[in-house]
Amino acid sequence: MLALLLTALLVSENPVKAPNDFWAHWGDGRGEISSFKLTIPRYGELRQGYAVLIFVTEDISRKTRIKVESDAIPKNERVPVLKLNRVFKFPTGIYDYSVMTSTFSSVEAELGRPPLHPLKISLTAQEWCGQVFHMLVPHEHELAINLHSYFEREGDQRRTIDLPENAIFEDNLPIWIRELRGEVMASGEYREVTIMPSLWDLRTKHEEARFRQGWIRKEDGGLIEVLGQKMPVWKWSWQIGDRTETYWVEKSGAQRIAKFSSSDGTEGILQASLREAYWQLNGNAAKTYREKLKID
């Protein structure tokens, strides 16, 4: 039961009322863009920047795990996913950091696992010293790992490790805890888990990708103040090693993430949220949307 439940991993204009409403909301041809005021540690100091969480549905190829863009991929080889692009932008002294983690989470059951289990997770990190690409591709019983780094001690790596039956992925949790296909944990519930740390956490610590033991808990978060109003939220917490993460998720409406924080000093507070076909907003006139998101 643990494996089945765990690996399934502001008032909205288009509220999500029940699991059956998933495609009524997420199939409207738009993406959800939420911006956050970001505090994040790097090199022993806290930095100020912004984060953007972009949630959108698309189809990927079951074989290649690459986005479908033509009729060359038969319909029976396509997998609908909810994609999360999580962007961190922050300066460190003279130079900037740009980090994006992409998580592709299957909308329906796939690979013998329940809905909202990741089919691919990738990270790119750029700063003035160099760049890194790290990708995880879960299969039925193993996890394929691909790493390209400018660091000599890491270099280029391709390897596979066993995928434990009940394993979850931290990068998928911001999707899973929104409970967009129905409740996944009861209020007050606590579970011990086998979990892969986020790729950003592995990057900052220069640690090898491997599963750790941890726990996750869901609680009533009461009311928190976001965007000048009191919002009823669920409080989700999980621990990996000595690091604890906490996310506050809107109870009703679109069930968006309102705030997140970490024991390492990271904090994100929601600044704005839009639903737009953002990929079309690439002209100079669309810069006004950056003002709406407060990321200029």
Residue 89 has a pLDDT of: 98
Cα–Cα dist 287/162, whole Å: 45
Residue 227 has a pLDDT of: 86
Q: State the pLDDT confidence band at 207, using cuts at 50, 70 and 90.
A: very high
Q: What is the pLDDT of residues 186-195, one digit of tens each?
A: 999 999 999 9
Q: What is the pLDDT of residues 85-136, one digit of tens each?
A: 999 999 999 999 999 999 999 999 999 899 999 999 999 999 999 999 999 9
* Three-state SS annotation for the chain: CHHHHHCCCCCCCCCCCCHHHHHHHHCCCCEEEEEEEEEEEECCEEEEEEEEEEEEEEEEECCCCCECCCCCCCHHHEEEEEEEEEEEEEEECCEEEEEEEEEEEECCCECCECCCCEEEEEEEEEECCEEEEEEEEECCCEEEEEEEECCCCCCEEEEEEECCCCEEEHHHHHHHCCCECECCCCCCCEEEEEEECCHHHHHHHCCCCCCEEEEEEEEEEEEEEECCEEEEEEEEEEEECCEEEEEEEECCCCCCEEEEEECCCCEEEEEEEEEECHHHCCCHHHHHHHHHHCCC
Count of other CB atoms within 10 angstroms of residue 113: 21
Containing structural domain, residue 254: 2-293
Q: State the pLDDT confidence band at 12, using cuts at 50, 70 and 90.
A: very low
Express as a percent the part of the chain with pLDDT over 90: 88
> Is 6's pLDDT higher than 70?
no
Q: What is the pLDDT of residues 15-37, one digit of tens each?
A: 333 445 899 999 999 999 999 99
Cα–Cα dist 59/83, whole Å: 10
Average pLDDT over residues 59-73: 96
| Angle, CA of 68, 74 and 79, to the nearest 5° | 55
Average pLDDT of the chain to the nearest whole number? 92
Residue 240 has a pLDDT of: 97
The number of distinct structural domains making up the chain is 1
Contact 92, 127 (CB under 8 A): yes
Average pLDDT over residues 135-164: 95
Residue in this structure with the two tokens 């929601």, named with its chain if needed: 270
Residue 20 has a pLDDT of: 53
> Is 9's pLDDT higher than 60?
no
> What tokens does 10 get?
């502001």
Express as a percent the part of the chain with pLDDT over 70: 93
Residue 10, C-beta contacts closer than 8 angstroms, at least 6 positions apart: 226, 227, 229, 231, 250, 253, 254, 256, 258, 270, 273
Of 175, 181, 176, 251, nearest to 22 (Cα)?
181
Between the alpha carbon of residue 242 and those of residues 93, 169, 262, the distances in Å are 28, 17, 11
Q: What is the pLDDT of residues 234-259, one digit of tens each?
A: 999 999 999 999 999 999 889 999 99
Residue 2 has a pLDDT of: 36
